[in-house]
Structure 1
């Protein structure tokens, strides 16, 4: 059975007044309300709501203001809550359906305004012969977009919905549309489109492309990601801007060290130092962000009797994060940073013919990718096999770094290989990285919580807080040991013959 259209777009020449006059000749209705309304669409910077087919709106008028979540495909309300202004984070909403849905999707990301649309909102009640309301119509008259009609069925009066929908299509010649078309139209007016940012790499390379040309394409995309996230990192909108900024830095450093000899050696050496410095100056702020994001987990790991005693740790971490963020913002606004980044951008813009050549500059990127991926993969297997129960923590940390290099190489070059094969191998690598990352994170957090307790002693911190922090250190140590004990099983899965055959088939026969 074909679904009955519920949403319609009016021709540009058809104003709300003209439409109402036309409609009045066909059906009996009353105008229940007419209000000047401001509709503002919100989403996270990386489109977490839109990507799961959800639209978030704040509708503000003189008489009411509410936040709503709608299904992007059907226009169905998923949640609605009275709210004067839009909170920045999901945990700032009142407890309820809206908060539950947003928290699961947004996590640590802030809601940011996408587009604001002032409009006149008419609410019409369609009446039957007995003057009972059998259908509700919403008419939105926008200043710069096509006007829209939405139908709301009332239980028991489905026939009225069907008749009115057919009337709008066949008699008034209105075009059915999708619930999300308003947002898409508004974004288009701004020169944007939905999902125009993702932290995931999507680099399109051709197999026979020269390696120097391909490496420039990779570095340009990474620089773009840095610049997109930079301003909001400085503004401290949410923690993920700095995270994505740092990921672009790490990927660039991996490219400079692993995409061998495609650019002039002096350039590689100069910018290896610059990006290492960037990694260093952003490290403390990111660490503090992670501790604050982990605080809820820390608290829940404690016995109930100690959970409130850990509160001074949160305040300590918050102050430390704010100070680190302030210092980072100053460094990212400094002439030193600006000059170096601008010079890197200008180098990447220069025509290839004017660049000095590395010894691998003119080989095909497919050949270089095969060589580099296969070499780093074999190194992971050797390093992983050498780790046993008595191996020091540094051995696992070194393997984690090697895994990162392979992951970045595979992400840089994934367009050169069959999509599903690369997806499967990257997933296997991510699973190994996960346990290595957990081991590293818990070890660092355990060490730093001990250091924080020493710093907090000078701040007249209550003694029960140190007791709670001691229990937290024990928890982190147990999680570190758990990750350490799980390493062998995860490595065995990565090393399994199926993966070895796949890596060899994709990379070794041409390397």
Structure 2
């Protein structure tokens, strides 16, 4: 691991004394659970004596208070080196009884060593990054040229969504021209999707998956809104592909939300049943994450996304967008509002869950269509967001029930655990009823329409 971002020396400060910047502390903290997941903290931890490497270790240890990392750490003056050859010699001198070690040091020594161990190692090693190698031989002396295999590579910006946001593509500046604004919006969404992929594959921070899914679905929703207003050759086929990509994330996102909620609000289950359910959900999560990673790493995926980008920039799309006007957008928006109000009026406390799900989809379509017109007043958008929140919470409860049903139907699970989960599943009808009443109490959207 390379130390996290440090301050530049000033005054009488030596290089050895350089402390971490605030950003560096956030970087180090973000990598704690990565190191834990990679089992990098289960052996000896060797740290350079420089202030910035010591503080990197301190931030990691601070995130894992239940671990006795202090008893495993060794501060070694020999690791305060920028020479890859010297670092390689240090690694080769490790005792063979050490099954794994974590080294926190400096560039260019770390990067030179990495490229020596495996030529497929990245061409750069940003601050706070971690490289995971497995030795090819049975001895540390085998850690010479091509003596190891790269098993993993992760930067703090791939492990933490807040850190990623600093480097994320910036939204386009406001443009009064409708066609240019929508094209810029679609291009920005595309850039965000591609930038988020590495964090989705890393699978450390679930917010990457959420934002990836949001940007995919918003791209599709904007495209559908455009298609509703004007004809665009080939757009239907493109939107179908975006829909399929978004659907591939559905189960994984639902599991993430379920697991997060179980941590925040412990469910009404005994510890054994709670543990059994979480283990089952984690197994489902791993399975679906692996399947999603296979899709994202497939050449066909990159080709498909690049085709979407070329389509956005095509003359056909440009001509279609040039026909859009605030008036035409408003006409379609009013029609959708009227349809929403009809669907809302048709609901009752006895309506099947699908009726509320369809209402939620309708609200989202109105929201994305309204986004095409910057003149839509904020009170109307706030009302849409409020309805999305209510219906989203309802959707989450239904999703939770579906996963509990699946857990209960699994023949390998303990009958007692299954019974407790069935009872919990049934108890979720009460908060669902509360949300149903709130939705039914909503006034017609036309009454608050722009």
TM-score of Structure 1 vs Structure 2, range by shorter chain: 0.5 to 0.7
Paired with 2:430 and 2:170, the residues of 1 have a C-alpha distance of 33
Distance 1:36 1:44, change over 3 A: closer
* 3-state SS in 2 of match to 1:293: helix
Q: Partner of 1:177 in structure 2?
A: none
Q: Partner of 1:417 in structure 2?
A: 375
Is 1:84–2:58 an aligned residue pair? yes
Structure 2's unaligned 5+ residue stretches are 1-7, 31-46, 68-104, 108-162
Structure 1's unaligned 5+ residue stretches are 1-11, 21-32, 49-59, 69-81, 96-115, 119-192, 504-511
Q: CA deviation at 1:63?
A: 8.0
Paired with 1:365 and 1:87, the residues of 2 have a C-alpha distance of 57
Number of positions where the alignment pairs a residue of Structure 1 with one of Structure 2: 333
Provide Cα deviations, 1:33-66, integer angstroms capped at 9, x if missing partner. 9952341525889xx9xxxxxxxxxxx9838789
Is 1:384–2:336 an aligned residue pair? no
Q: Partner of 1:445 in structure 2?
A: 400
Q: 1:478 aligns with which of 416, 423, 430?
A: 430
* Aligned counterparts, 1:200-219, within 5 A: 204-206=174-176, 209=177, 211=179, 213-219=180-186
Paired with 1:327 and 1:194, the residues of 2 have a C-alpha distance of 24
> 2:229·2:324 contact (CA, 8 Å) conserved in 1?
no
Is 1:405–2:365 an aligned residue pair? yes
Q: Partner of 1:468 in structure 2?
A: 420
TM-score (norm. length: structure 1)? 0.57
Is 1:36–2:23 an aligned residue pair? no
Q: CA deviation at 1:197?
A: 6.0
Q: 1:488 aligns with which of 440, 446, 449?
A: 440
Paired with 1:331 and 1:221, the residues of 2 have a C-alpha distance of 22
Q: Partner of 1:293 in structure 2?
A: 260
Provide Cα deviations, 1:103-126, integer angstroms capped at 9, x if missing partner. xxxxxxxxxxxxx999xxxxxxxx
Q: CA deviation at 1:86?
A: 2.7
Q: CA deviation at 1:346?
A: 2.1
Paired with 1:218 and 1:34, the residues of 2 have a C-alpha distance of 45
Paired with 1:276 and 1:261, the residues of 2 have a C-alpha distance of 16
State the Cα RMSD in Å.
3.9
* Aligned counterparts, 1:144-163, within 5 A: none
TM-score (norm. length: structure 2)? 0.64
* Greater fraction helix: 2
Paired with 1:197 and 1:294, the residues of 2 have a C-alpha distance of 29
* 3-state SS in 1 of match to 2:60: coil
> 1:35·1:61 contact (CA, 8 Å) conserved in 2?
no
* 3-state SS in 1 of match to 2:18: strand
* Greater fraction strand: 1
Computing the radius of gyration from Cα coordinates, the structure with the larger value is: 1
Task: Compare relative contact order (CA 8 Å, sep 6+) and give the higher one, 1 or 2.
Answer: 1
Q: 2:287 aligns with which of 315, 323, 346?
A: 323
Q: CA deviation at 1:428?
A: 1.4
> 2:296·2:302 contact (CA, 8 Å) conserved in 1?
yes
Q: Partner of 2:355 in structure 1?
A: 395
Q: Partner of 1:337 in structure 2?
A: 301
Is 1:435–2:390 an aligned residue pair? yes
